[in-house]
Structures are given as C-alpha cells and as structure tokens.
Amino acid sequence: MSRRIVGPLISLLLAIGVGAAIYMSASEQFQEMNLEVVRGVSGSEKLPFFRDQRTIDTLAVDPFHLKLDVEKAGSRQIATSYNLKEYDFAFPAGIPAAEKIKQENHIKKSYQPFFTPMVIASWKPVADILIENDVVSVKDGAYYIVNMEKLLNLIIEKKRWTDLKGHEKYPANKSLLVTSTDIRKSNSAAMYLALASYVLNGNAIVQNMEQAKPLMEELGQLFLRQGFTESSSQAPFQNYLTMGPGKSPMVMIYEAQYLHEAARSEGAIGDDMVLLYPEPTLFTNHVLVPISENGQRLGEALTQDEGLQRIATDHGLRTKNIKLFNQFVKENQLAVPSYLVNVIEPPSYEVLEGMIQLIERKYTDDALM
C-alpha cells in the first residue's frame, strides 16, 4: 500500500478515535447532568456497598437516575449530632437510632432493605480455649456458638486469659474482654450493650431505667476497661484483620463485615480466623430514613430492586430474599447459619440512650479522678 493511501487512512482512523472519545465523554457528561444527586449520611459498614461500581451503575440508569453522595458517621452521631435537613437521607444501623431520627424530624416512613446479626470475630486458638472452658460450642460441625451468660460472667469477674484452662494456646496475660466501638458514638457498641443488658437482666429486655440502674456498674466496665475505642465499626474490624490475636482476640462486629471479606478473592480472612455467634443474639436492621423525596426514591430502590439486593448480599448483608443469601453462602463455601433462632430485640431508644448516657458519665468521672 502506497504512502499516499496509508497517510490519509491513518489520519481518518485517528479522527474516528478522537471523535468516539469526544462522543463518549459528552455522553457520560450528559448522563451525569441528568442524575439527581442524593446526599446522605450512613454508618461505615454500608460504605463498601455504596462504593461498589455495580451499585453506582444500577442507580445511574432507568428507572432511578440517582447519584449518591454519602458521608460516614457513627449511628448514634447521626441520631444526635447532625442537622439532617441538609441531607436527603439518614442510614444508621439499628432501629433505636432510626426511631430517634424519625421522631426528631417528624418522619413516619422508613425502609429496612437489609439486616445483619451481631457476631464476634475471633481466632481458632481463642475459640479452642473457650470450648475447653464450656463457653463456646460447635454447632453442626460448621460454626461456633457463644454462651453469652458464661462469657459475660468471666469478663465481669475480671478473668485473664491465663486464668482459663488451656490458656497455653493463647498465653496472653491480659484481661478477657470483647473489643467494641465507642459506646458514645456507634451502633455496634450499643448493640453489645443491648445484648449484655438483656443477659444481666435475667434474660429479659430492660424496660425502664429503674431496671437498668442496678446493672450499670457491670455494664459500664464492659466498655471502660477497653480503653480507647474507635467511633466506626470498620476500624476495629480492620485492626482484627491486620494486627492479629494479640491486639484483638474477640471483636464485636457485624456478620456482613466478616462474610464480605471472606468472600473476596483477595480477602484477608485466614484459616485461623473464626466467627462466633452469640446466643442469644440480636439483629441490626439497617434503616434508611428518607428526609426528602429523592431519599424516598433511594429507599424504594434498595428495598425493591432485586439487582441491588443481590449486590447487598454479595457484601454479606441479609435481605428479605433468603435464597439470595443462601446462594451467596454456598458459592463462597462459608460456614454460617442460614437463620438464627435465639434472637432478641434491643430496648427502646429511650432506655438504650439512658444507659449510654450513664456510661458516658462514667467516662467523664473516671477521667477526673
């Protein structure tokens, strides 16, 4: 082929390429211009779902045309420290925080697109010690169950790991504690408080502050003895993944965090890591409270669209479609129960908040001593 032909042909191909690039860029910009920005504040545990490109792409097209702008905050912070009129939606973890938001903002409607049980991330040597001390048992040869009454008694009695039978498997002369987030800011710590208060109240939900007050010294120590705690549920889980059992032998987390990490091809869950299911336990319902019409549209999308529900399941979250969760578990060969039986409810927002405030005072009082 002569140079006279090749030269113009190359120029034509370059022109076509540049034109296509300009068209694609203009098309993307046009699509961006036609998206409704939905601004919200959410717990950190849902950010991986919101940042998933599949979620972004699904919400950008028919019939939604939505673009998310999501800030991270602790669920209690969302309920108590934010001017939510500046947002389209609030998405805390837990019904108590969501009910507070609805009351304060005179909102009747809310959406519960997914939920997750509270669990304890731990390590096989730690679980083996707890099995030897009759605190943990293995069910169906697949997953671990924690007797919360026995575990809390060991913590309240200020036992150290070296006090337990078989401690040679984990020879740490440190207090036996469950690491949580900051009770003053985060829902996962509030759920630990709700669970502990139920057990210490004779396996009954604490109904008022008169019932709560006799329990507060023991409940407060579950949190004060931890020392510094993080405000976001992602932080202690990340410490668990990267720092080993020396830092965090037992961490109160959401099941979805562990399952999502375990299902990732490059995930950090190792063979020596295990998931302990408290018994009794409780579910954390992730409740979207719409502040505006666009927030309501997002709530409807997350609740009704099967594609978005499937993406949520891929992030370890449970939805109303149990088949999706069971399929996710089977595909990723995860040893988890498809459903849990011994599940309790948290106290009302007023009672839970009252207990948190009493513990908050203990932080201040101890600091001044």
Query: What percent of the chain shows pLDDT beyond 70?
Result: 90
Please indicate whether residue 29 or residue 262 has the higher confidence score (pLDDT).
262
**Percent of the chain residues past pLDDT 90, beyond the cut:** 73
What is residue 155's predicted lDDT score, i.e. its pLDDT? Answer: 97
Contact 274, 122 (CB under 8 A): yes
Q: Is the pTM of this model over 0.95?
A: no
Does 12 score more than 60 pLDDT? no
pLDDT at 360: 93
pLDDT of residue 213: 96
Q: Are residues 131 and 265 in the same domain?
A: yes
Query: Among 57-66, 317-326, 334-343, 346-355, which is the least confidently predicted range?
Result: 334-343
- Pairing relation of β-strands 136-139 and 143-147? antiparallel
Bridge partners (DSSP) of residue 70 are 40
Instruction: Give yes or no: residues 249 and 204 share one domain.
Output: yes
Same domain, 351 and 325: no
Least confident of 40-49, 169-178, 230-239, 266-275: 230-239
Range of the domain at 64: 3-114+286-331
pLDDT at residue 9, as a whole number: 57
Residue 19: pLDDT over 90: no
Per-chain mean pLDDT for the chain:
89
Ramachandran area for residue 158 (φ above 0: left; ψ -120 to 50: alpha; else beta): left
Residue 97 pLDDT grade (very low, low, confident, very high; cuts 50, 70, 90): confident
Q: What is the pLDDT of residue 75?
A: 83
pLDDT at 338 over 90: no
Q: Are residues 60 and 141 in the same domain?
A: no
| pLDDT for position 224 | 94
User: In CATH, what number is assigned to the domain containing residue 195?
Assistant: 3.40.190.10
Contact 359, 219 (CB under 8 A): yes
Residues 191 and 322 in one domain: no
Cα-based distances in Å from 101 to 46, 59, 105, 113:
18, 25, 6, 17
In this structure, are residues 99 and 81 in contact, taking their beta carbons and an 8 Å threshold?
no
pLDDT for the residue 341: 87
pLDDT tens track for 181-221? 999 888 899 999 999 999 999 999 999 999 999 999 999 99
Per-residue model confidence (pLDDT) at position 28: 46
Same domain, 298 and 280: no
Is there a single domain that holds both residue 205 and residue 290? Answer: no
pLDDT at 291: 96
The C-alpha atoms of residue 362 and residue 221 are separated, in whole angstroms, by: 9
Question: Per-residue pLDDT for 85 more than 50?
Answer: yes
Cis peptide before 280 (omega within 30 of 0): yes
Give how far the C-alpha of residue 176 lies from the chain's centroid of Cα atoms, to the nearest Å: 23
Pairing of strands 343-344, 136-139: unpaired
Mean pLDDT within 9-31: 52
Query: CA 66, 93, 269 angle in degrees (round to 5)?
Result: 95
Mean pLDDT, rounded, for 20-24? 48
Q: Are 101 and 217 in the same domain?
A: no
Q: How many domains does the chain have?
A: 2
pLDDT given at position 150:
97
185: which residues sit within 8 A by CB, 6+ positions away? 74, 76, 77, 231
How buried is residue 6: exposed, middle or buried, by Cβ count under 10 Å (0-12/13-18/19+)? Answer: exposed
What is the structure's pLDDT at 263?
93
Do residue 174 and residue 247 come from a single domain? yes
**Is residue 44 located within the same domain as residue 177?**
no
**Is residue 15's pLDDT more than 90?**
no
Same domain for 277 and 304? no
Instruction: Give the pLDDT confidence score for residue 32 in this predicted structure.
Output: 56
pLDDT band at 88 (very low <50, low <70, confident <90, very high): very high
The average pLDDT across 62-67 equals 95
Residues 79 and 178 in one domain: no
